[in-house]
Amino acid sequence: MEPEAARRRIEEAGQEQLLRFWDELSAGQREALLGELRLLEPGELAEHCQRAREAYIREGSCPQRLDDRMCPVPAEFLGSVRRGQPGELRAWEEEGLCQISQNKVAVLLLAGGQGTRLGVTYPKGMYNVGLPSGKTLYQIQAERIIRLQQLAGEKYGTKCTVPWYIMTSEFTLDPTQKFFEEHNFFNVEPSDVVMFEQRMLPAVDFNGKVILERKDKVAMAPDGNGGLYKALVDNRILEDMEARGILYIHVYCVDNILVKMADPVFVGFCVSKGADCGAKVVEKAYPAEPVGVVCKVDGIYQVVEYSEITAETAEKRNPDGSLTYNAGNICNHFFTVEFLRRVAGTLEPSLGYHVAIKKVPYVDEEGNLVKPSQPNGIKMEKFVFDVFQFAKNFVAFEVIREEEFSPLKNADTAEKDTPTTARRSLLWQHYRWAVRGGAKFIDANSHVIEEDARNPEREDAPAVCEISSLISYAGEGLDLHLKNKELSSPFILESHVL
Ligand code: UTP
C-alpha cells in the first residue's frame, strides 16, 4: 500500500495521529507501520474505536444490577465432588477415562494473555513459581497429560492420546514455540501439540484514538480469551479436531497451577448428562469475593460479575446456610466439538465485547516513550464463557478449591494469586497426598511431624513435598511408593528415581 492510500484510509477512520511521526521514520520503519495499517480496515477501525469509547463511558456510569433477574443453577444441572456419592463419582471418572482411552477428548489451553499483572516479559506458562523441581507451568501441564494418557490407556487396554491445543497470541506464539522445542515438548508427542494464534485489536485512548506504542508501531492487544472462537475458524482447528475423531474439549487457563486437565470426573459427568457446554465452579470463599458467578439471568446461563449484583444478593443464603450464588467461575470449561462448530460458525458475532482499562505504554506528542503509572487505554476483549447462553444443555460441576484452583495472576507484592500462593497450594496438595499414601514426614531432628502440627490454616505445608505429575495425576497410586516411608523435607518424588 502506498503512503497516500494509507493516509486516506487512516483519515477515513478518523485516526490521523497514527501517521504523526511519518516524516521522522526510516524506510524500514515506514514499511513496518504500513504493514500494520494495511491490516486495519477503515470502517471496522472506526467502529472499533467508537465502540471502545462508548464502552468506556458506560463503564464509568453505574453498573447495571442483575439481582432481580437472576436465579442459581438448578440442582439437577449441578454436579458436585463434595456432595456426589462415591459410586457416582467413580462412574463419572470411569466414563471420562473411557472417552479418553478412545481418543475422543482433547485439551485446549488459553495462553494468549499478556500477563500484565504478573509483570513478566515472557508467556505465563514459562513461569517457574519456585517449586523444588523448578518446573514451569507448561511442564506441569505436559506431565499431567502424559500421566492421564497412561491412566486411561492402562484401564481400558489402549494406547491413547489427549491432543493439546494451545491458543497463543502475537505476544506468546514465538516464545512458547521456542520453549517447547528447547524442552523436547516435555516428552509429549510434538504432532499432538497444536499451537495457533488469536487475533489482535488496537488499544484505544479515552478519546477513542488508537494509541501509538512507538513512532512506528500501533499498540495492539489480543482480543480476549473469547477470541478463541474466531481463532478456531481462522486456523481451521475444528477441522483438525474432527480429523482426529475428537468429540469433547476441556478448555482451561494457563495460570491455574492445580488445573486437572481433561479431568475424567468432569468430562465423564458432562458426557453422562449429555451436556454440550459445562463449567467447573468452586464455592465462593466469602460473599464479597470478586469472582464471577455462574447462574441464570432471564432464564439464560451466564457469568455474573460481583459488580453486577448488590451485596444483599451476594450474601443471600439457602436454608442449609450455603450461599445462594455460590458457583464461582474458574475458567475451566467443557465443550462438545459440535457446540464449538455452532458457535464458531454463526453465533460468534453476537458475543459482546468487554472493556478492560489498562496501562498501555505509548509515545507522547514529543516522541518520548512513556510507561504510564495510571491506566490510559482501553482494550476490548471477548470472554470465553460468554457462549454459555448458546448451550442447549448446560451443566455446572462444583469442585474443591484446595484441590483444583490456585491461579497465578499477580507478582509477589500482592496478597493473593501470586507465585507464592500458587507454590504453597501445590505443595500443600502434594503433602496431603503423601500423608494419605501412608508417608510420615520427619523433621531435622528425625522427629515425626505430629498430626497436630499440621494446621491447614498455616500458610506453608508442614513439610515440603513435591510429586511429579508423571507419577500421580490426582493423588492416585502413591501408597505403592510411600506407604510407611519416613520422608525428610524437602522431598521430591520424580519418575526417574523410582
Ligand atoms: P487473564 O484475564 O487473567 O489475563 O487471562 P492475563 O493476560 O493472563 O493477565 P493480565 O490480565 O494481563 O494480568 C485468563 C486466561 O485467558 C488467557 C490468558 O492467557 C489466561 O490463560 N487469555 C487472556 C488469552 O488466551 N487471550 C487473551 O486475549 C486474554
Asked if 444 and 451 count as a contact pair (C-beta separation under 8 A), the reply is no
pTM value is: 0.95
Q: Which helix (H) or strand (E) holds 9?
A: helix 3-12
111 lines ligand 1 (CB under 6 A): yes
Task: Between 355 and 59, name the one with better pLDDT.
Answer: 355
Q: Output the CA angle 150-152-153, nearest 5 degrees.
A: 60
Tell me: pLDDT of 495 over 90. Answer: no
Q: How far does residue 300's CA lie from ligand 1's centre (Å)? A: 25
pLDDT (average), residues 11-16: 94
Across the chain, what does the average pLDDT equal? Answer: 95
Q: Does residue 458 have a pLDDT over 90? A: no
Cα of 30 from ligand 1 centre, angstroms: 31
Distance from C-alpha of 281 to C-alpha of 449, rounded to nearest angstrom: 34
Q: What is the pLDDT of residue 459?
A: 85
Q: Is the CB of 221 under 6 A from ligand 1?
A: no
Torsion of the alpha carbons at 361, 365, 368 and 372, rounded to the nearest 10: -30
Residue linked to cell 500443600: 428
- Pocket lining: 110 vs ligand 1, CB cutoff 6 Å: yes
Closest ligand 1 atom to residue 169 Cα is 26
182 touches 175 (CB < 8 A): no
Pairing of strands 204-205, 248-253: unpaired
72-86, pLDDT tens digit by residue?
Answer: 999 999 999 999 899
For 169-183, 355-369, 484-498, which range has the lowest pLDDT when averaged over its residues?
484-498
Q: For the segment 38-50, what is each residue's pLDDT rounded down to a tens digit?
A: 989 999 999 999 9
What would the pLDDT profile of 306-337 be if each residue is shown by its tens digit? 889 999 999 999 999 999 999 999 999 999 99
Distance 251 CA to ligand 1 centre (A): 13
Would you state the pLDDT for residue 453?
56
382 CB near ligand 1 (under 6 Å): no
**What is the mean predicted confidence (pLDDT) over 465-494?**
96
Q: Contact, 457 vs 491, CB < 8 A?
A: no
**What does the CA dihedral 51, 52, 58, 59 come to, rounded to 10 degrees?**
150
- Given pLDDT bands bounded at 50, 70 and 90, which one contains residue 2? confident
Q: Which H/E stretch holds residue 177?
A: helix 173-182
Report the percent of the chain where pLDDT is more than 70. 98
Average pLDDT over residues 380-384: 97
Element (H, E) at 488: strand 486-488
